[in-house]
Structures are given as C-alpha cells and as structure tokens.
Structure 1
Amino acid sequence: MSNPNEVPQQPGSQPTPSGDVPPPGYQPPQGAPQPPSYQTPAPSYQEPAPGYQAPGNQAPPPGYQQPAYQQPAPGQQGQGFHFEMPTDGPKSFNDVLPRGGFSGMFNVTGMPTELKVSYWIWLIGGFLGLLGGLIGIFGTLVLFSVIPALAAVVLLLVIVSLVLAAAQVVLAMKMKEGKEWARLALTVLVGVGLLLSVIGSASTDGRSNGWFGFIVGLAAAVLMWLPNSQAWFKSVKRTA
C-alpha cells in the first residue's frame, strides 16, 4: 500500500537523501520551484581608526580623502628665528609708562646676557642722546647768527633726536619688562636712526657723528632677536 505523502519520482532520477543539501549531479524536476538565491551585501566602507596603516601597497577605497595637514602647535616648532607680530600692545598711556616708575631702572634680574647688554646699550644711548640734544640746541642758537637756513634744519633734527632719545629710554624699560611691542619699536628706531644719519651727513657735509650711534643701535637690536632673547620673551608672555 503506497503512502500518499510520498513524492512521485521522475524516471531516471535518484531519491534525494535526507538533509537539505542535494547530492552531486542532482537536477530538480521540471516545473519544480527554484530555491531563492541569497547574496551577501557588500560591506560599506568605514573610516579607519587613527594610526591605522593599510598593509603593503593596498590602494585606498573609492571616495577616501587623505586628512589635511595641520599646523604644529606652538612650542613644537623649530628653535630657529620666527617673527610674529606683538599681541601685547599698550591699551592706554599708562601701559606705555614703566611699571613702578623709573626706580627699577637698574634691576635686570632674570634677563639673559644678550638682553642685558642690549638693555644697557639702549638705556645709556638714550641718556647720551638727551645730553647731546641739549648741547645741540645751544649750538644751533649760535648757528642762527651765521647761517639761519642751515640752523633751522639742524634745530629740527636736534628736536627730533631729543624726542627719540626720550622714547628710547622708556621703550628700553618696557623691553626689560618683556614687552614684545617695545622690542619691535626699538627695532624701528634703528631704521629711523639710519634715516637721520643720512640726512645729518648730507646737511653737514659728512661731519655728522650719527653713524656711530646707528651702528651701536643696530648691534643692540640684533641682540634682542637672538634665540635666547626670544625664548625669554616667550616665557614672560606665558607667565603674564
């Protein structure tokens, strides 16, 4: 007696063994439904973790962009010369005046040797400029009786020199406090001194002694920008 649950077999076919996997060479009968095919979806690309390196010369996947270059943080740069505009400029007239007045004029504790030498050059040169300006005013008054036109030019130069000498003393004391804007202003004064030396030599037929002051000021300016001096200014700025 036949079992109604048995599936009729096609002639020449072999019965399917138990289990889900058909035997090798098995062909489903005609008209039988085909089993659904499944395809594994391709995995989506994910950004690699920081520090990950692809093995060998494997090319990055499509759409991958190399991270942009980032500027190194301050303090990680080289120790060479690096100019930056000062950010500690004076906000009022009181910021220009020396801290505590002129009583701490001779206190240079904590400064590197290069800045100490530069400071004394600026300070002594400023006082000598004030003294020379006062003497020049009296000499110009005598020159007015001989050559009035030349005396007027010389008097103007003497007044400008007096103002610059006074500013030099004040700026030197602010530089001693670690103010970068004062260092930059003193460097600009060297350029002004060069211009005055050229004008003075032209107006006095080469008898001006302004070139000596310019060379001394140039040496003082160079000392302010040496590596030890720059490191000291940065340390003062961080602790301010």
Structure 2
Amino acid sequence: MTNFSRAPRSGAAGLFSLAGLPVELKVSFWIWFAGGVLSVLGGLLGMLGSLVLFAAAPAAATAVLILMLLAASVGVAQVVFAFRLKAGRAWARVALTVLAAITLVLAVVNGASGAGQAGNWIAFLVALAATVLMWLPRPQAWFRGAPGRNTSAE
C-alpha cells in the first residue's frame, strides 16, 4: 500500500516539493509546469518580435502582439493550474484537461490552414500525455483521498 499525503511543505521548500504524490502526477506536474514556462517565454519573445513588425505592418503587428499576449497568459494559467494540481485541487485537473483540448483545436485549425507547423501537434501530444497521466487510477485514488487504492471504479 502506498501512502499518499496531500500536505506539501509550506514556503519556498514546499513550492516544488512533490512528496506524497503518485509518480504519474509528478510527471504530469513537470510536463504542465515546463510547458507553461515555455509558453510564457515564447509569448514574451513573440511580443518583442512584434515590435519590429510595427514599422512595416502595424495591423499585422497588433494581431501578433495580441496572440502573443494570449499565449503568455495561457502559459501563466498553465503554471498556476499545475501548482494547484500538485496541491490536490481536482478542479485544476479539469482545467488542465480543457487546456489540452484547446491545444487539440488549435492544432486542427492550424493544420487545416495549411501552415504546416508540426509544433502544434507536438504540443498537443505532450499535453495529451500529461492529461492521461492525471486521470490514471493511482492519481484518481490520490484525488479521492483514498490512500493506496488502485482501482478506477468511478
């Protein structure tokens, strides 16, 4: 029997402490956290790049700036949800699942537009893996607060 504890250490020491979480949730947390940080960084770099575009095409630059702000905002939300997931908040698991679904929609739309960016599909597959890990039986039991329970009877 595995003893799952929901009480992480407080303060800076507890910020990245994953003690007591099932391995699946630890991996999922790191995927969501790293993806969120990369999204924030990509959004910020894109915003800087859009500043150069303002000289040549202000309307296009405005659209790019808005999209990059959105990407950075989603990244921040993803990081926040990952920390709430680690803290045992079931709603964060649902929110991250919705973000994975949005990633799928964006990949489909981007693929249909003929832009040919495989990065959206890769992002979706990574989000899908993190999502599946959150919903496996051991994490399910951990969220229900039933230590050691490995069944998925819902």
- Shorter-normalised TM range: 0.7 to 0.9
Q: Which of residues 204, 212, 229 is equivalent to 2:122?
A: 212
- Contact 1:133 / 1:159 at 8 angstroms: preserved in 2? yes
Q: Which of residues 3, 14, 18 is equivalent to 1:104?
A: 14
Alignment of 1:90-239 (within 5 A): 100=10, 104-199=14-109, 205-207=115-117, 209-235=119-145
1:188–1:152: structure 2 CA closer, same or farther, 3 Å change rule?
Answer: same
For 1:104 and 1:218, locate their aligned partners in 2 and report how far apart those are by CA, in whole Å.
27
**Match of residue 15 from structure 1:** none
1:210–1:105: structure 2 CA closer, same or farther, 3 Å change rule?
Answer: farther
For 1:154 and 1:147, locate their aligned partners in 2 and report how far apart those are by CA, in whole Å.
11
Amino acid at match of 1:124: A
For 2:63 and 2:113, locate their aligned partners in 1 and report how far apart those are by CA, in whole Å.
8
For 2:146 and 2:58, locate their aligned partners in 1 and report how far apart those are by CA, in whole Å.
51
| Structure with bigger RCO (C-alpha 8 Å, 6+ apart) | 2
Gaps of 5+ in 1: 1-98
1:104–1:200: structure 2 CA closer, same or farther, 3 Å change rule?
Answer: farther
Query: Please, what is the CA RMSD of the aligned residues?
Result: 2.6
> Rg: which structure is higher?
1
- Contact 1:178 / 1:236 at 8 angstroms: preserved in 2? no
For 2:66 and 2:26, locate their aligned partners in 1 and report how far apart those are by CA, in whole Å.
33
Secondary structure at 2:145 match in 1: helix
1:168–1:140: structure 2 CA closer, same or farther, 3 Å change rule?
Answer: same
Q: TM-score normalized by structure 1?
A: 0.51
Task: Give deviations 1:133-158, integer Å, cap 9, x for gaps.
Answer: 11110111122333333333222221
Q: TM-score normalized by structure 2?
A: 0.77
For 1:162 and 1:101, locate their aligned partners in 2 and report how far apart those are by CA, in whole Å.
26
Amino acid at match of 2:18: V
Secondary structure at 2:56 match in 1: coil
Gaps of 5+ in 2: 1-8, 148-154
1:168–1:162: structure 2 CA closer, same or farther, 3 Å change rule?
Answer: same
Alignment of 1:3-82 (within 5 A): none
Task: Give deviations 1:192-222, integer Å, cap 9, x for gaps.
Answer: 2233344556779334733322221111011
- Contact 2:96 / 2:131 at 8 angstroms: preserved in 1? yes
**Match of residue 3 from structure 2:** none
**CA drift at 1:183:** 0.4
